[in-house]
Structure 1
Amino acid sequence: MMNMRSLLTLPVFLALIRGTKGQNPTVLLRPNFPQVYVGDDVTLICNREGGSKPTIWYRDGKVQESYQDYTMLLTAVTPENNGSYKCVQDNQKSDPFTLIVLELEPHAQLSPSVGGAVMTKGDGRNLVLQTDDDLKDWACYVLRGVRTFSLGLDINKEMKRAVIFAELKEAERATFWCRNRKTQHRSNAVTLKMTELMVMLVPPAAPVLQGEPVALRCVVWGGPKLEKVVFYKNLKEIISSSKGTYDINNATQDDNGKYSCHATYRYTHISAGAAEKEGDSDLQELKVIGGPAAAVISGSAKSLQCSCPRCPKICTSCHWYHTLSNDPQSHRRLPENGMSVTPEEEGEYSCRFDCGNGFSRLSDRYSYKAQPAEFGGLLYILVGGAALIILLCGTVWMLKRRKQGGSDIQESKQGKDKDMLISLNFEQREYF
């Protein structure tokens, strides 16, 4: 038998059930970045407890017909993706979610040690994290589907970088990033995709920037000999060759599209008479974006200058970096913050501007080597010093010769006088 308290609680409980069932959906951002940077892959989720998955998406009041699932995947975002997003499920409309994409680069760099954006099922690879600050305050994460997981971080203090092992598990795609737990600064996001096919079209893992070269690789699992490769763009053949790479020397937005390849191959390293095989790859999206403004490095071996004509006015301080020529991963920040620097160590120098919430793009690298002119000047000094020493030694030797010559003359004169005196004495004795 219910008591009075239970009878009072029951209506409240039933009201909560009815409220949850009729709850409006909410637009969620995944990964839940505090700032979204140009080039990020992000997902908007229309989240409604008890709601149906068929979803209508709006941006700035216009229906987005290409998105009908409860998730909206936005790849390599730019300021063109800025706007107010809403979703509708069961005639229930969400509150607006405002997406703002910063045309800057984040505070740290995450990049694959090898390979591109596509991996075979069950495979994994290392991602390298490089930051300007202490790595001990950083943590890394992965978004698989709509769930986020923490990852282990292996820090190398001597190299000033850290490594995480990236694997997809059972997900078709996953996004990896790292974050500073104190400052909340984060790295760029790296998205890796899975394929179960023998043939893979592999685009680069980093966003493709306008004007830069890009290579799309057609790779076959197991590394067989490629007999023929046909590349396609939006299902139309664009090139056929024996090479496994389709090169774009100067990427533009005209190169945007979905690419694939068809490979004919033989496993000749297993058997010289291996049978010919062929297969198709998955479709892979290539999206060329403008990217943040890039710093410009100029000058000579005696002084390097950094500028950024396209940067916002808030970009005031400059950061300088040094990279060893034989180790591209040895990205080390220099203590200088001014607009110029004097190179001292051999290697490559680059710079970028600090814009508060992010950075400009890095400048091109300036390669510095020991200058022959400086070595020549040192050689002249050494030769001049040696000549001076030889001259001093010669002068001392001449003075000694002169002194020795004067002594010999004096001794010869004294000897002649002595002989003459002896001769006179002898003559005197004969006379007497």
Structure 2
Amino acid sequence: MDMRSLLTLSVLLALIRGNKGQKPIVTLRPKFPQVYAGDDITLICNREGGSKPTTWFINETSSQTHQDYLMLLTAVTPDNNGVYECEQGGMKSDPFTLTVLDLEPHAQLSPSVGGAVMTKGEGRNLVLQTDDDDLENWICYVLRGVNTFAIGLDINKEMKRAVFFAEFKEAERATFWCKKNTTVLRSNAVTLKMTELMVMLVPPAVPALKGENLTLRCEVWGKPKLDKAVFYKNNKSLPKSSPEDTYTITNATQSDNGMYSCHATYRYTHISAKAAMKDGDADAQELKVIGGPPAAVISASANSLKCSCPDCPASCTSYHWYHTPFNDPFTREKRSENDESINVEKEGEYRCRRDCGNGFSRFSDIHNYTDQPVEFGHMWYILVPALILFVIIIVLIIVLKYRRCGRMGIQAPGRDADQDTLMSVRYVR
């Protein structure tokens, strides 16, 4: 055996010895500095030359539902908090502690149109909105499989937002998020899923929150005329209560959790008036309703707005206020006030949220403010009687005027008759 062969053999033996007895390691993807309620995350159990048969332990209890080296957790909440360990080939990893903050992150990422499902080869614009004007220092990322890639941003300084194009490449699902350089500030994560079928069930791209109304859409590639759509939950048909292509869940609760799909009957009448009828099924999509972080609430009195959050933790201190003009729904301007109450003058939509240090409360519902005479709303009980009194005075003046004119008309003929009599007497004399 020559020296080259001996060297190669020694290297292989060293690698084998190095791998022997090496613990698997639990890693988090995306590699978030902080995990927020509603995030989709993946825990990976891997090691050099590791094998896939994997046993997961959650709080030291074996999990029978996750046997793969990847553990996908969708729309996480504080209920997912705990210690995670994995075992491969008889070796157990060190504990990994998962902490989910029941808050929202600092920036918002959302699709410009559409929901969470796209057909293969499609893409969609995602819009980033932040509280600061320093969008140049924000970078966006995508997780495809177990690999992370950076994405360039198209910044619109005038509208204070940035846009990038989201696509799958070769992945079946992809998670997108943005982060500010050298800080822990980040946006929420948006997960898009790919389908190769003509028919697709499209849930919202943001987490489903308890108490909100949710709309599921049954769409067909190419936008043909949809004659009928039947919706299913866990393979059981649902009663029809919405327009043909949608199914609406009102006041969502955890009982609405499940796998949803739809069956569509359609025709491409825009291609040919005599197009043949077609039908197809959509892939099943998971819907998971979560409680979500505590929400802020706006109360209003005329042009004075007050922000409160009864369920917010004590760490929530200041308030953030936002204004959106009626004629520009894509613009969101952060106001300078950080107080509980503000006075508004500009018409538009107003929202607020509490600043809790590591994150924020949920946004309040939108309050629409229109410019109107505020004084009348407070003084109607004074103005209305004053108006009635004014009308009475005018009527009295008119009545008195007519009475005076009437008396003058009656007295005038009498005086003329007396004068004629007097003149006649004088003439006789």
Decide: shared fold, TM above 0.5: yes
Query: What is the match of residue 84 of structure 1?
Result: 83
Q: 1:330 is paired with a residue of what secondary structure? A: coil
Q: Pairwise CA RMSD of aligned residues?
A: 2.3
Residues 34 and 184 in structure 2, CA contact (< 8 A), matched pair in contact too: no
2:278 aligned with 1:277, yes or no?
Answer: yes
**What CA distance in whole angstroms lies between the structure 2 residues aligned with 1:8 and 1:260?**
59
The 3 A distance-change label for structure 1 pair 8 and 167 is closer
Structure 1 residue 156 displacement after superposition: 0.3
2:358 aligned with 1:357, yes or no?
Answer: yes
Residues 228 and 240 in structure 1, CA contact (< 8 A), matched pair in contact too: no
Q: 1:239 is paired with a residue of what secondary structure? A: coil
Spell out the pairing of 1:340-379 with structure 2 (5 A cutoff): 340-373=341-374
Query: What is the match of residue 297 of structure 1?
Result: 298
Query: What is the match of residue 334 of structure 1?
Result: 335
**What CA distance in whole angstroms lies between the structure 1 residues aligned with 2:23 and 2:83?**
17
Residues 20 and 49 in structure 1, CA contact (< 8 A), matched pair in contact too: yes
Residue-pair matches, total: 376
Q: Which runs of 5+ in 1 are unaligned?
A: 381-432
Structure 1 residue 276 displacement after superposition: 0.5
Spell out the pairing of 1:198-209 with structure 2 (5 A cutoff): 198-209=198-209
**What CA distance in whole angstroms lies between the structure 2 residues aligned with 1:136 and 1:160?**
11
Residues 240 and 247 in structure 2, CA contact (< 8 A), matched pair in contact too: no
Query: What is the match of residue 183 of structure 1?
Result: 183
Residues 302 and 374 in structure 2, CA contact (< 8 A), matched pair in contact too: no
Q: Structure 2 counterpart of 1:158, which letter?
A: E
Residues 31 and 143 in structure 1, CA contact (< 8 A), matched pair in contact too: yes
Residues 43 and 73 in structure 1, CA contact (< 8 A), matched pair in contact too: yes
- Could you list the per-position Cα deviations for residues 233-254 of structure 1 after superposition, in whole angstroms to 9, with x for gaps in the alignment? 0111113586110001110000
Query: What is the match of residue 421 of structure 1?
Result: none
Structure 1 residue 300 displacement after superposition: 2.0
Moved more, 262-271 or 186-195: 262-271
Q: 2:329 is paired with a residue of what secondary structure? A: strand
Query: What is the match of residue 392 of structure 1?
Result: none
Structure 1 residue 372 displacement after superposition: 3.3
- Could you list the per-position Cα deviations for residues 313-342 of structure 1 after superposition, in whole angstroms to 9, with x for gaps in the alignment? 010100110011222221110000111111
**What CA distance in whole angstroms lies between the structure 2 residues aligned with 1:182 and 1:60?**
33
Residues 21 and 49 in structure 1, CA contact (< 8 A), matched pair in contact too: no
- Could you list the per-position Cα deviations for residues 212-268 of structure 1 after superposition, in whole angstroms to 9, with x for gaps in the alignment? 000000000111111111111011111358611000111000000000000011111
**What CA distance in whole angstroms lies between the structure 2 residues aligned with 1:121 and 1:319?**
40
Query: What is the match of residue 425 of structure 1?
Result: none
2:142 aligned with 1:136, yes or no?
Answer: no
**What CA distance in whole angstroms lies between the structure 1 residues aligned with 2:240 and 2:214?**
18
Which entry has the higher C-alpha Rg, 1 or 2?
1
Structure 1 residue 136 displacement after superposition: 1.2
Q: 2:331 is paired with a residue of what secondary structure? A: strand
TM-score, with structure 1 as normaliser: 0.83
**What CA distance in whole angstroms lies between the structure 1 residues aligned with 2:302 and 2:275?**
55
Query: What is the match of residue 102 of structure 1?
Result: 101
Structure 1 residue 272 displacement after superposition: 1.3
Query: What is the match of residue 249 of structure 2?
Result: 248
Query: What is the match of residue 401 of structure 1?
Result: none
Spell out the pairing of 1:22-421 with structure 2 (5 A cutoff): 22-133=21-132, 134-240=134-240, 243-373=244-374
**What CA distance in whole angstroms lies between the structure 2 residues aligned with 1:287 and 1:104?**
18
**What CA distance in whole angstroms lies between the structure 1 residues aligned with 2:116 and 2:11?**
52
2:18 aligned with 1:19, yes or no?
Answer: yes
Query: What is the match of residue 415 of structure 1?
Result: none
Structure 1 residue 20 displacement after superposition: 2.0
The 3 A distance-change label for structure 1 pair 376 and 212 is closer
Structure 1 residue 172 displacement after superposition: 0.4
- Could you list the per-position Cα deviations for residues 123-182 of structure 1 after superposition, in whole angstroms to 9, with x for gaps in the alignment? 001000000111111000000000000001010000000001100011000000000003
Q: Structure 1 counterpart of 2:339, which letter?
A: G
Structure 1 residue 375 displacement after superposition: 9.3
Structure 1 residue 374 displacement after superposition: 5.7
**What CA distance in whole angstroms lies between the structure 2 residues aligned with 1:61 and 1:261?**
39
Q: Structure 1 counterpart of 2:182, which letter?
A: K
Structure 1 residue 297 displacement after superposition: 0.7
The 3 A distance-change label for structure 1 pair 376 and 63 is closer
The 3 A distance-change label for structure 1 pair 203 and 368 is same
Residues 229 and 240 in structure 1, CA contact (< 8 A), matched pair in contact too: no
Q: 2:185 is paired with a residue of what secondary structure? A: coil
Q: Structure 2 counterpart of 1:25, which letter?
A: P
**What CA distance in whole angstroms lies between the structure 2 residues aligned with 1:319 and 1:93?**
46
Residues 21 and 50 in structure 1, CA contact (< 8 A), matched pair in contact too: no
Structure 1 residue 12 displacement after superposition: 9.0
Residues 43 and 71 in structure 1, CA contact (< 8 A), matched pair in contact too: yes
**What CA distance in whole angstroms lies between the structure 1 residues aligned with 2:17 and 2:374?**
84
